[in-house]
Structure 1
């Protein structure tokens, strides 16, 4: 009983340190994504021409994919920053702080994955068809970073957890919903504490790598698309 306040204070300090580190990471990602949004690869149309101020490469598939990945990286990092700020406030109940930190811990890796995707797609647009070998190299190493850069992204498949949970508890066990949630917040809490959090990270990683494949395939077959 006498040691409980000291243990609570130590746990809060650890959570506070993790929140500070996560905030630094999320703010850096948001800053880079925001800067990339207004320094688009390829430049802008001159003022004396039609569609002045728009991106020159706006019709390219790689550019559209760049815009999507950069937007997702910025939004995920901004939302994660807000959650981390609330998660480190002593005025908020401890269990609420834990949920805010949990939500942020899922958003920051997504933001990093999307930022890697925006980096590779932006390089593709800058290098062009004459440096296709370098483009393929960038895509290969970026795919490796997306697929294996997040800890625990393949645990569901490597350890067979998904299949075991499915056999024991069915689809309700996989999504961690054994009873009807009382509110939307309760549903989000259950969803973010379910094994599906790892599946979602894996799906995003695979989608980003598939976008790389489509972009290089279109660059080879239809160079102007």
Structure 2
């Protein structure tokens, strides 16, 4: 993809994100099985915390990429998992878009001022950590220089969006969370398992991109 082609894609995507989104119909394609409807419905007696993540698109070697990151092992729900840059809303944040921008700068070193915001994917409730997360779609027009925070990031994983359509990189893993056993679709990215909420957000992005391709 040329620079002009990437810019054209960005404009088309920006227009598409302003229209109704695929939402749950697309997210569920990568949801763990058996499908648990509680995954999508927060408990009104225990309001979820708000969070924002950044889906940052950039060109590299003729393809569109997005950076994921592997979190270090720690005593927490998402220990060692792969995610987008992002985190919890803080009182200093104007909104959840600002949360995503701030966290992206803090975690992988991309200045907020360098990112053009295109729009958002659908919010997604994460039952394991009781978060409701808004994914922001952003873009930079050159491959970024990633500067991972050594405390929050074990590894940056640049992922070509071609992965979303490669059947060899879309797999299913059996996971045990006693007393439950689930069968989770996941994307194999540099040997890492990208599953759960991150995979579900990527699934919605894939659905939107397929719509653009068909136009």
Q: Normalising by structure 2, report the TM-score.
A: 0.25
Q: More relative contact order in 1 or in 2 (CA 8 Å, sep 6+)?
A: 2
Q: Which structure: greater strand fraction? A: 2
Q: Which structure has the bigger radius of gyration?
A: 1
Q: Normalising by structure 1, report the TM-score.
A: 0.24
Q: Which structure: greater helix fraction? A: 1
